[in-house]
Amino acid sequence: MNNESGRLQSAWGALPVAVFIMVWEIVGRFDLFPGQFFFPPFSTVVKEFYHLTANGVLGKNFASSLVRVLIGLCSGSIAGIIVGVIMGWRSVINRALNPIISLLYPIPALGWLPLLMLWIGINEMLPITIIFICSFFPVVYNTVTGIRNVDKRYIQAAETLGASNMRILCKVIIPLALPNIFTGLRLEAGMSWRVLIAAEMVAIPTGIGALLMQAESLVRVDIIMVCLIVLSVMCLLFERVFVIMEKYMIGKWSNHA
């Protein structure tokens, strides 16, 4: 019964997308959009997707972007979790670093771009560093919040049960902070793709963002749309990966902590 209702819900969710694609196809095919030259039908975009995949252009650029996102997001998140845990666990370090983090956190990741172009030049490290910055600060913030919000009673209970500080941190505090940490990771998983595309469009000659810019210069709206669809799917996919990880790791208890 539950599976059935789940399938029904998915079908209802897909319906607006199908309608949207249908309207798009009709508008494109029957030139209903003013300046129809800039509005290819969906089928043309699909054909171009196939073409770009077959000749390897999309695959090559996609792989470049994916590697950058994976390295930047992983390193930024891991560093963010480590710094966040230390700040959350030790008040002295939190007091020392919090003002700095608070000053740097509001700067949009792309705001760092001009400075980083001068500091590290236009190379592979540039988009990776931008993504690192993009994921680092929110993950730090969420981790600190998660660690500091762990109910003191759990820590006291662990203490009276004889646990060392390190054991309390690893076995009690970090697991209980995971819901907050995952919130940060989930948000930044999608954001890292958005930031990457912007960085590639401005400064890097390879990747989905660079492909977008090339398509724009050749007035290839169909390629632009292919790139945007790929971007959209990747943002969604990355967020879903973290949702699934979260569900797997803490789903059994997180709503009842």
Partner 1 sequence: MPDIELVNMSRHICRNVDLRIMDNEILVIVGTTGAGKTTLLNVIAGVVGYKGSVLIDGVNVDKVSPRRRGVGYLFQGLALFPHMTVEANITFGLSAAGIEKNAADERVSSLMEMVHIKHLIHRYPHTLSGGEKKRVALARSLAPSPKVLLLDEPTASLDHQTAKYLRTELVPLLKKLEMTTVYVTHDLREAEEIADRIALMSHGRIEQVSTPRDFFFDPRNEFVSEFVGMPNIIECDRSRILTSGLVEVVSDEMTMVLPYDGGNIRKIAIPPDDIYISDVKPPGPALNRFTGKAEEISRHGSNVRVRVSIGKNGLLAELPASAFDELSLEEGGDVHVVIKLRRLRYVES
Yes or no: say if 224 and 215 are a contact pair by the CB < 8 Å rule.
yes
Which of 8, 15, 54, 161: binder of partner 1 (CB under 8 A)? 161
Q: Rounded to the nearest whole angstrom, what is the least distance from the CB of residue 88 to partner 1 in the complex?
A: 17
Yes or no: say if 76 and 136 are a contact pair by the CB < 8 Å rule.
yes
Q: Rounded to the nearest whole angstrom, what is the least distance from the CB of residue 154 to partner 1 in the complex?
A: 5
When asked if residue 162 is in the footprint of partner 1 (CB under 8 A), the reply is yes
Residues 105-144 as x/- pattern, contact with partner 1 by CB under 8 A? ----------------------------------------
Q: Hey, what's the torsion of the CAs at 205, 211, 217, 223, to 10 degrees?
A: 170
> Would you list the DSSP string of 163-205?
--HHHIIIIIIHHHHHHHHHHHHHHHHHHHHHHHHHHHHHT-S
Q: Rounded to the nearest whole angstrom, what is the least distance from the CB of residue 161 to partner 1 in the complex?
A: 4
Closer CB to partner 1, residue 31 or residue 151? Answer: 151
Q: Which of 134, 123, 135, 121 is nearest to 206 (CA)?
A: 123
When asked if residue 35 is in the footprint of partner 1 (CB under 8 A), the reply is no
Q: Which of 136, 40, 135, 128 is nearest to 97 (CA)?
A: 136
Which of 2, 5, 160, 217: binder of partner 1 (CB under 8 A)? 160
Using CB under 8 A, which residues numbered 170 to 229 contact partner 1?
171-172, 175-176, 178
**What is the rounded end-to-end Cα distance, in angstroms, of the chain?**
29
Closer CB to partner 1, residue 35 or residue 256? Answer: 256
Residue numbers of the site for partner 1 (CB under 8 A)?
A: 151, 153-154, 156-164, 167, 171-172, 175-176, 178, 250, 252-257
